[in-house]
Amino acid sequence: MELALRHRYGMDASSVYLSPAPLYHAAGVNYTMAVNRVGAASVIIEKFDAEHVLRLIESYRVTHAQFVPTMFVRMLKLPEPVRRRYDVSSLLCVLHAAARAQLR
């Protein structure tokens, strides 16, 4: 998995990964362990809150993150002034997993 993180997703020791998945879940623990083997930092959250995630992305200059569709929807449902309040330009790669995303 760390080879994919390095070569497919451009992760290296300077990367910062945001893990919203619980560590008792396979995705949460496996991705976080692979990120550690790459030498990158992990930001682990206990509970998903859309605005808090945006704040963490800005604060820690998160470069990589993984979300499920419900999380994307919650972030997009934040009022636009709230979304614009945070600088998320550090994000280079966002992984989508767990369910099919609906295009609208």
Output the tens digit of pLDDT for each of the chain's 104 residues: 766 677 678 889 999 999 988 777 777 788 888 888 899 999 999 899 999 999 999 999 999 999 988 898 899 999 999 999 999 999 999 987 666 666 55
pLDDT at position 23, please?
74
What is the CATH number that goes with domain 2-96?
A: 3.40.50.980
Q: Which alpha helices (H) appear in the chain, and where do they start and end?
A: 2-7, 26-38, 50-60, 69-76, 80-84
For residue 20, which of 70, 58, 61 has the smallest C-alpha distance? 70
pLDDT at 60: 98
Q: What is the structure's pLDDT at 33?
A: 85
